[in-house]
Amino acid sequence: MKVSRFPQLTLRVIALLYLFVLLVVPVALIFYRSFEHGIGQFWDWITTPAAISALQLSLLIVLIVVPLNVVFGVFTAMALVRGRFRGRGVVEAIVDLPFAVSPIVVGVALILLWGYGGWFGGVESLGFRVIFGLPGMVLATIFVTLPFVVREVEPVLREIGTEQEEAAATLGANGWQTFWRITLPAIRWGLSYGVVLTIARSLGEYGAVIIVSSNLPGISQTLTLLVSSRYTDDYNEYGAYAAATLLMIIAIIVLLLMTLVQRRTGTNQIERRQASNESDAAADPAETAPKTQESELV
């Protein structure tokens, strides 16, 4: 009985149209409107002092948030996968909390903790400003990006198991040697995807950051806040499109770099395996000789 392909083709067309309308069309329109007046005008919009300052601040936040989330994410994932302790389910729920809580709520919570009159608000009397400053923006971004590395590394750790780590331990490797030489290389791609997601979310975060930021151009305005400010306050639609395009270009560059690194590393691994197999065959010809003689006798 021949099965009709019409339902399959229909589902594919619907899925492609869905993705095209929701993803491709809006992004393409932003690119088009950004360059509608020419590349020169686009360049002028993204090289204003406010835009340059916003880009620098956004990249600074990324440079602070990503290493912290990598360290926390890897060791939290290892604790959840390798460890057996009470309250493990509670920790799992806490890790997923940023997915469920609105970023606006995160910003308000940080103000209650670090703002004037908050639990830790006394640090401002020491000259350390958290809310409406860079530390508050970093804390807000860390909170909303916290689960990405954990959730990307955790399934990889479950998949690789503990056999190689146990073998390294029996050969005399200590904990750090096992981590650097066995665990980290095994989880590198899960970690890489977590880093990419963290970078993308850090660059695009708006809700939590706008609450704890003074949103002053050149002082505490990120690229995302610049897009909003140009569009709603300055009524500069094309300037907002240009800043949004700059954000997308940075995200695309990060994705391309990760893809190139992945392909390059995969190629190097294949070459090393081939070289290792060839060297093993050349180093031990005695094993192949009896097999050849046996095949000739047969």
pLDDT at 260: 77
272: in domain = no
59: in domain = yes
pLDDT at 137: 93
Burial category of 208 from C-beta neighbours within 10 Å (exposed 0-12, middle 13-18, buried 19 and up): buried
pLDDT at 87: 82
Q: What residues make up the domain containing 141?
A: 24-265
18: in domain = no
**Binning pLDDT at 50, 70 and 90, where does residue 285 land?**
low
Indicate whether 13 pLDDT > 50: yes
Indicate whether 96 pLDDT > 80: yes
275: in domain = no
Could you tell me if 133 and 215 are in contact, meaning their C-beta atoms sit under 8 angstroms apart?
Answer: no
38: in domain = yes
pLDDT at 272: 52
CA neighbor of 38 nearest in space, from 221, 242, 282, 287: 242
pLDDT at 89: 85
pLDDT at 291: 47
pTM above 0.85, yes or no: no
**Binning pLDDT at 50, 70 and 90, where does residue 297 land?**
very low
* Range scoring the smallest mean pLDDT among 5-9, 226-230, 260-264: 260-264
Indicate whether 65 pLDDT > 90: yes
**Binning pLDDT at 50, 70 and 90, where does residue 293 land?**
very low
**Residues 163-201: tens digit of each pLDDT:** 888 888 888 888 888 888 888 888 888 888 899 889 989
CATH code for the domain of 232: 1.10.3720.10
pLDDT at 4: 66
- Give per-residue burial for 13-34: e unless 16+ CB within 10 Å, then b: eeeeeeeeeeeeeeeeebbebb
Q: In sequence order, which residues have a C-beta less than 8 Å from that of residue 236 and are 6 or more positions away? A: 230
298: in domain = no
* Range scoring the smallest mean pLDDT among 96-105, 159-168, 267-276: 267-276
8: in domain = no
**Residues 72-83: tens digit of each pLDDT:** 999 999 998 888
**Residues 14-27: tens digit of each pLDDT:** 999 999 999 889 88
Compute the average pLDDT of residues 78-100: 87
pLDDT at 23: 87
289: in domain = no
Number of independent structural domains in the chain: 1
Could you tell me if 61 and 138 are in contact, meaning their C-beta atoms sit under 8 angstroms apart?
Answer: yes
pLDDT at 271: 53
Return mean pLDDT, the chain: 83
Indicate whether 278 pLDDT > 70: no
Indicate whether 295 pLDDT > 80: no
* Range scoring the smallest mean pLDDT among 141-150, 234-243, 253-262: 253-262
What is the rounded CA–CA span in Å between residue 269 and residue 263?
A: 10
